[in-house]
Structure 1
């Protein structure tokens, strides 16, 4: 049995049918061919699981986060009923017959969270490099540690890419994210990663990233290595992926376009991506305005801020996300008085995807969640780095907003909860996600509030944001299928997965000197928190 299947309980009929029925990939027309000649392929199908016959399930709360047509509402002692993959009742009581009952008394029944920015991987590199001890990392995002010496590729997951994909997605799902956007990472390649996501049971928006340049260290500085043809070829592959996989696994796998980073994409590549996203009818997301270096690089290259450049090429539209989008012209680190970036964002209908914990680690403020929200900018949340815990991100979004605005009246729990649910749904153009309402998808989480760190609960959303974490999520349902029940994973062996992730981490850490610009061992680059006693000392 191969490594991938070691982790999965046999749910093979759906995946087998998908691979048997899918249309073989045919050569694609060049990117510059008139788009009217290309049409979307039929979505691959899959055979429902044996338990997929019509079944009504009632979850009796507890607190239920309902939806009144305009926004969330709280229903004490409420109930939720779903039939197969759709909700049919959300309210105080249900008098009809049901096939299964779930007792959620004293718990929170919530729409599944929407993680709008995740890089599926093990946490082996991020767990040590996302640390203020590394001087060259300061505010430079991942380029400060991932970019290899020029001409030396960094070690990737390689034959253990299955671990990166499985662990990355499952860690987010375990913490309550039922819809996950892997922003172009796709460890192991598009087809294997899609298979992992499909068999895990998550709802995912996927697509391979593409860009015109890569980062490398040349001595002590970061350089961009340009290959515009590679960027266009990457866009072609992304278009082919959309046509092949959009709607796979009974619609749980949807597709997006993911141009890599603003400073690694030419304006022409971004224009092409914009046109294709419109023609294919898929969302799109780009890392932009994500660090100070990028802000000044774009200003130097184009005479415009990152946001102004994106407006000038027609990139900013609804169903388009900007990953991070921290450094606008009025940000305290930029001090650039020419322009009005935030109003540009508000007028465009674009979504800003905020990953607060990652920036808190770098000492960078998002200025500010409340300011963006008050202007009408749609906000969504993502984890980006570890832990892949969107409950954790809600708290950091609230607290960092209060720090940025120096006010306890902002960063309200309901606002960050909206970003983790409704904001993500708006980014994707989905009115059947991020809410519990009849007709919506049966993507549901149950959070155990009966724990010491919650104590007395007066308002479950305030308690969740102020006191909770993804570890409190005890049940996860996606598309009507229960993936985690009473804290028990139903689709994989978590202990075996963690053992393999640890072994892979050891391999990656040992390989650091082969690609890092300093050529030093990991512990010389990022010293341990305390001296580590050797085995010989331990025996003494």
Structure 2
């Protein structure tokens, strides 16, 4: 009884008999790290009561592809093609030797800053993702040790593992993109990731778990992926493998292996239930069937795909084939509500308005992520589940008669008010303890500006920044 907290609001999204349910004027009772009770009322004694009024108390979102750096994909929003704009390493950059464009302190700050952004958007469980374009090769154990400390301090539930690869995309000055490999370097990165995984798994009272993050499928050799599959299965850890996300990737995989990306994963025995596969926008129906047969998870990242003219074709079709679908943010802002909204729109563009309803996308952001991680205690508010909760303020928006439909039509990540993870209140009224949002935003911008200044080094032909990123309108000097 001591320490129980009762939360109440106009809307509570609970869970029973395998499905989310909605309680109007409902309550959630937290005891230590778990949900004790969800329903219309509670007769027991509590130590603290918080009434949120016109709000929805929701299970925290699960982000299977959670942005953990300063997102460089936004630089390509109006600037392409990618090979001309520093998104593919030129041969001249390879010749001089790729280098780290951020120092260790900057990388550590970025993880902490990104984790705070996830919490602000109601994301309570995250599998971090960062670009390797500005790295010397892969991510380092040192930065992930720092990220583990940041996650523990902030209270975020995370699955951590440094990204590694055996190759990378390279372009000549005519835009001919190929893959260049260094398998020994990649295998060494895997072994470092294994050592990190075995040391980190289950720390922070179980909030920090291990994951494996081989990078894009066209930059990974068979030996790397087979070894990853074996170790991850042995540890019961998830593996995230980016695939079926671009025409260039599909071409390179066909050149390397004579088949499509998902077909290759299946052929080498890597398409397993613990594999999480962003993004699937280039996948065929046959590949969807293989994902379903392998019981892998498709990680849908609607916002980043739509920004670059792509979409999943389609969410309803993939779901109908039996695929478990989770969601990822993968870009700035880390707004899961916005991703659900874009996911709804693109699914209806692909299949029609009757093909998907709001609860289907909400399930992906909660239950789909929990299934991907084999965690029946996440993604739902029910007795015995982890007390991972997002409180979303609806007092300043036009509400429909249903809270989930209101989230899809009128809300955003900025409406997240309070967040609880493992029963701990990690954000209150938009404030995260020991985080100065204004100061951190300025620090992040300064680091991002410094990275942009280095873009000519890794851009084909090495043009100045002003030619890489063209302005929307003419800049007029004062």
TM-score calculated relative to the size of structure 2? 0.93
- Kept in 2, the 8 Å contact 1:59–1:103? The answer is yes
Shift in Å at residue 54 of structure 1? Answer: 5.3
What residue is the counterpart of 1:444 in the other structure? Answer: 389
Alignment of 1:179-218 (within 5 A): 179-183=125-129, 189-218=143-172
What residue is the counterpart of 2:311 in the other structure? Answer: 365
Task: Tell whether 2:24 aligns with 1:70.
Answer: no
Task: Tell whether 2:180 aligns with 1:225.
Answer: yes
Identify unmatched segments of 5+ residues in structure 1: 1-52, 331-339
What residue is the counterpart of 1:145 in the other structure? Answer: 87
What residue is the counterpart of 1:99 in the other structure? Answer: 47
- Kept in 1, the 8 Å contact 2:27–2:41? The answer is yes
Q: Secondary structure at the match of 1:191?
A: helix
- Kept in 1, the 8 Å contact 2:56–2:393? The answer is yes
- Kept in 2, the 8 Å contact 1:118–1:384? The answer is yes
Which is worse superposed, 213-222 or 288-297?
213-222
Partners of 2:171 and 2:362 in 1: how far apart?
Answer: 39
What residue is the counterpart of 2:106 in the other structure? Answer: 160
Partners of 1:309 and 1:214 in 2: how far apart?
Answer: 18
Partners of 2:86 and 2:448 in 1: how far apart?
Answer: 20
**Alpha-carbon distance change, 392 to 146 in structure 1, aligned in 2, over 3 angstroms:** farther
Shift in Å at residue 157 of structure 1? Answer: 2.3
Alignment of 1:279-428 (within 5 A): 279-330=234-285, 340-405=286-351, 407-428=352-373
- Kept in 2, the 8 Å contact 1:64–1:110? The answer is yes
- Kept in 1, the 8 Å contact 2:58–2:390? The answer is yes
- Kept in 1, the 8 Å contact 2:398–2:410? The answer is no
Shift in Å at residue 234 of structure 1? Answer: 1.5
What residue is the counterpart of 1:520 in the other structure? Answer: 463
- Kept in 2, the 8 Å contact 1:256–1:283? The answer is yes
Partners of 2:176 and 2:66 in 1: how far apart?
Answer: 27
- Kept in 2, the 8 Å contact 1:211–1:231? The answer is yes
For 1:67-98, what per-residue CA distance to the aligned partner results, in whole angstroms no more than 9, with x for missing partners? 01311010111100011111100111111111
For 1:285-332, what per-residue CA distance to the aligned partner results, in whole angstroms no more than 9, with x for missing partners? 1011121111122222222211111111111121211110221235xx
TM-score calculated relative to the size of structure 1? 0.83
What residue is the counterpart of 1:495 in the other structure? Answer: 438
**Alpha-carbon distance change, 137 to 443 in structure 1, aligned in 2, over 3 angstroms:** farther
What residue is the counterpart of 2:379 in the other structure? Answer: 434
Q: Secondary structure at the match of 1:249?
A: coil
For 1:242-292, what per-residue CA distance to the aligned partner results, in whole angstroms no more than 9, with x for missing partners? 110001111111111111121111112111111111111111110111211
What residue is the counterpart of 1:465 in the other structure? Answer: 408
Partners of 2:100 and 2:466 in 1: how far apart?
Answer: 18
**Alpha-carbon distance change, 267 to 173 in structure 1, aligned in 2, over 3 angstroms:** same
